[in-house]
Structure 1
Amino acid sequence: MDRVRGKVAFISGIARGQGRSHAVALAREGADIIGFDLCDEHVGYPLAREADLAETVRLVEEAGGRIVAERADSRDLDAVTAVLKKGIERFGRVDIAVPNAGVVSYNPIWEWSTEQFRNVLDTNLIGVWHVVKAAMPHMVEAGSGGSFIFTGSVASLKGCPNTGAYEISKHGVVGLMRLVAMEGATHNIRSNIICPTNVRTGMIDNAQTIGLFVPDNPQATLDDAAPAFATMNMLPIPWVTAQDISNGVVFLASDEARYITSVVLPIDAGSSDTISMGG
């Protein structure tokens, strides 16, 4: 229960889904949490709200952790920097950064609007870089190393139809991870990326995503779509849980992974090696 005791983690997109799961898992293992979420807008499916952020705070504290949690937009560097500054004022440091916030949208590439394309890229790639730009100088100055754990996707590793800017952004995050690993190495700052298959969170449990997999049934639920989701994976499951990804985050954040850097870690039920994608 003490694998990251005394460390401070900076996490984007903590109001629900993977971000919340990572925050609670790291708190359970002894870390203090600095995090933020947009808690606004709609990108074809509903995003988290302030009540979700408040629930993350409750769960982190219930797990024994301390937390600074704010509303902020990952696309706004000043807002991201302000959240981290507030957290460092309270906790004194940052050791772990998990640039997790992301959105998805679907269309054949030629049907994407400019606004849709830019919104996904700005959130999933520019917003991820903003977390790096905010956190890395503090790690370098402190001189005690650090660990960046990026959120990739099977779409970081292979073509996924209809994902457009999402796939492009997730390929880009792999390149960003490698740059952070190379440029951070002399400061003992490690950098890795986890690439999941579908994770059962709000990103797939919505009408937009379900409709991609069950186009002939507008009333379909996620469970109705499970057989189609399962065709993506080598193992006989439709998706993994957020906790499955958090297990990898805790490991990569801990000293157990102290010599692991620049690694692309699929937690994907074999999805990256399947021949065809469902949907």
Structure 2
Amino acid sequence: MGALTGKIALVTGSARGQGRSHATRLAEAGADVIAVDRCETVPEMPYAMPVPDDLAETARLVQNHDRRIVIAQVDVRDGDDLASVVAKGAAELGGLDIVVVNAGISTVLAAEGTSDSQTWNTIVATTMTGVWNTVEAALPPLRETGRGGSIIMTGSTASLKGLVGAPGTPAVLAYTAAKHGVVGLMKSYAVGLAKESIRVNTVHPSGVDTPMLENDSLREYFAEHPADAEMLRNALPVKMLQPGDISDAVLWLASDASRYVTGVGLPVDAGFHVL
């Protein structure tokens, strides 16, 4: 029996990176999974987004643990579509207990030909408004089970301190503002849902080895602005964390081992926030 046997988890942004790692780790612990991702190009981002085959690979990895999985392509910015997908997945699998609100995008420089306002709106809509849409989509099936539940939002070290790039980098401001907003959502939902035994927490990673950070756009930017690379410096002697490091914290917050933990922002950041 795994720590999550009999549980059903929703994971957004699950086609690759942290989301795929979380979906796989929760399945390993016994959970069935609803895995969603946009799997389309985001014109404002100067790096490649996941594709449908990536989401299919997440499904294969979950099934390797003999767990059921429902996958769907959906944009977390579209609350109505997301609610429909979550409702159908929960009905097929038998409810919902865990919500891992992971979908997000980030860059320092926007894609060529993209305006500052387009970049701002896209990052905030995905990384903050998408969190609100996800929780609201998940609440009906969470409540219907009557079992309580755990909502885990992916924050960032940018939720805990200000990040500033060279002049002309509104994307950094948008990401930092959005991730601070995620903390506000977490704290408000934690208060409002406590009476229903639905816990709400955030995990705050520093740099994680995923395509959102490991891409040509960021490498070129930091080569030209080495001082800004300090934004990613950790206190402990490690350059980047691995997705599984964050999944360990997500699993703990999803499990009964943290049954009395709510309203907490948990840094998993190699000491980044203490610098």
Compute the TM-score of the two structures, normalised by the length of structure 2: 0.91
Q: Is the 8 A contact 2:209 2:242 kept in 1?
A: yes
How much does 1:229 deviate? Answer: 6.5
CA distance in structure 1 between the aligned counterparts of 2:232 and 2:137, rounded to whole angstroms: 39
Q: Distance in 1 between matches of 2:232 and 2:16?
A: 26
Q: Which amino acid aligns with 1:136?
A: L
The residue number in structure 1 matching 2:169 is none
Structure-1 residue corresponding to 2:242: 241
2:102 and 2:153 map into 1 onto residues whose CA distance is: 7
User: Which residue identity lines up with residue 180 of structure 1 in the other structure?
Assistant: Y
Structure 2 match to 1:45: 47
Q: CA deviation at 1:267?
A: 0.3
Distance in 1 separating the partners of 2:20 and 2:109: 28
Equivalent residue for 1:118, pick from 121, 141, 144: 121
Q: How many residues matched?
A: 262
Read off the aligned partner of 2:176 and give its amino acid letter. Answer: E
Which ranges of structure 2 fall in alignment gaps of 5 or more residues? 166-171
Alignment match of 1:63 (pick from 65, 83, 88)? 65
Gaps of 5+ in 1: 217-224, 275-279
Q: Write out aligned runs for 1:146-161 (5 A).
A: 146-161=149-164
Query: 1:186-244 CA deviation, whole Å, 9 max, x = no partner?
Result: 0000000000000000100101222232227xxxxxxxx9xx56961000110100000
State the distance in 2 between where 1:18 and 1:211 align.
23
- Structure 1 runs, 4 residues or longer, greater than 6 Å off: none
Q: CA deviation at 1:100?
A: 0.5
After superposition, give the CA deviation of every residue in 1:235-268 in whole Å (9 maximum; x if it has no partner): 0110100000000000000000000010110000
CA distance in 1 between partners of 2:209 and 2:57 (Å): 18
**Contact kept in structure 1, 2:206 and 2:232, CA below 8 Å:** no
Q: Are residues 1:141 and 2:150 paired?
A: no
| Matching residue of 1:208 | 217
Q: For 1:84-123, what per-residue CA distance to the aligned partner results, in whole angstroms no more than 9, with x for missing partners?
A: 1221121111000011000012259xx9611110000000
Q: Which moved more, 1:175-184 or 1:230-239?
A: 230-239
RMSD over equivalenced CA pairs, Å? 1.8
SS of the residue 2:162 aligns to: coil
Deviation at 1:140, TM superposition (A): 2.4
**What is the alpha-carbon distance in structure 1 between the residues aligned to residue 74 and residue 61 of structure 2?**
20
Map 1:1-279 → 2, pairs under 5 A: 2-42=2-42, 43-107=45-109, 113-162=116-165, 163-215=172-224, 228=229, 232-274=233-275
**Amino acid aligned to 2:163:** C
User: 2:87·2:141 contact (CA, 8 Å) conserved in 1?
Assistant: no
- Separation in 2, partners of 1:136, 1:182: 14
Shift, 1:183, TM fit: 0.4
Contact 1:229-1:239 at 8 Å conserved across structures: no
Give the structure-1-normalised TM-score. 0.90
